[in-house]
Amino acid sequence: MSRSQELANYLDAGALLIHTEDASKPADLRSILSSRLLQYRLRVGFPAHDYATSSLDEVQQETALEALDVIEHVQQILDEDAGLNPPLRPPTEEETASRRLQEDTPGEMPRVGTRDLMQLRTLLSIVFKWGTEPLLARIQPAWPGKQTSSVYRGPKLIDLTNTPEDYALLVSLMKRLFALVFPRGVQGTIPQTFITKTVLTRYVTELLKPGITLGWVPKNLSSEAMPVIDELRPLAMRLLSILPASQTIASLGAILSNPSAIAPHVQRTCGSLLSRQLLRPDGVHGLFAAIFGEGEQVQDDAPLEKLEHVARILTAVPATIKPEEYYTTVAPRILDLISSEENVPPAYRRAAAFSLARM
């Protein structure tokens, strides 16, 4: 079988996981997903499976797992094709980090049509929405959070029966998802495929949140059933290093925006990583871009709430660096935004001046 035919077969199988049912035959979501899975299994040659007793959560998770399987096979074919037809000169690390990756940049296979690309986007969204996100939500209660009230409300019963199994499955999914970006190891070349570019433009936050949760588990909370996953740390750090600071700061900020939904060690780690992003050459500018937008989307005004938010971030000295070293690095970059004769957005200038006044 040719690689083109193999690619077409995987795309056809993936389409069965998301195809639209006959509107004249209404059914509940569980039944719809069960029907899709049965058709998919028949198409790829898997044994028949009875989903009659499966819950909605179970068929959603199964759909996510099969969606990822399709994506991995398509990615392998796309990556092989890109390797046979490489660009004349690969982008440098600096060039990669200085711009946002665009999903329509060169390097795609001509035999993948627009409908196929939309289908791959949908399958990726299913992997996160029905795969990693609910698994992360289920293991979250295993880590103690901060006491939010001094009023005793009695014991809170939390079912952790399946937590080790959920944890192991989430670890497996995260390793496979990171492999879509780093299939050749942490320092290997990054695939120039539509799938990789979609992950890097749309799902950085969804990668980082569980990656940090699993990769930075403190020793006192690590156990045989829920160990720290050391290999995820360098992958997350490399991911942060290859993207523009504005994008990484926005992603880390999105994770921190809902502290009640993350474990304490995730909050601490994200705060530390955010501070480190500010020390990058484009870090201060990236912070302003993340808060006020950039390009045509930049905001004209600078509300006091956002000014104070920027100032809090810039004046929070990381615990791993001396204050004088931090301010020696950050302050000149803030001043540059104020004094620059280039077309700096007014909101940036106001935020820079406001932050300097708070230092």
103-120 confidence digits (pLDDT tens): 444 444 446 889 999 999
The DSSP letter of residue 195 is H
CA gyration radius for the chain? 23
Cβ-based neighbours of 184, under 8 Å, separated by 6 or more: none
Q: Return the higher-pLDDT residue of 5 and 89.
A: 5
1: confidence class by pLDDT, cuts 50, 70, 90: confident
Q: Return the higher-pLDDT residue of 336 and 158.
A: 336
pLDDT at residue 65 tops 80? yes
pLDDT at residue 23 tops 60? no
| Structure confidence at residue 147 (pLDDT) | 44
| Structure confidence at residue 300 (pLDDT) | 80
Report the pLDDT averaged over residues 58-69.
98
Tell me if 138 sits within 8 A of 163, measured CB to CB: yes
129: confidence class by pLDDT, cuts 50, 70, 90: very high
236-265 confidence digits (pLDDT tens): 999 999 999 999 999 999 999 988 889 999
Q: Return the higher-pLDDT residue of 223 and 23.
A: 223
- pTM confidence score: 0.85
Report the pLDDT averaged over residues 309-326.
91
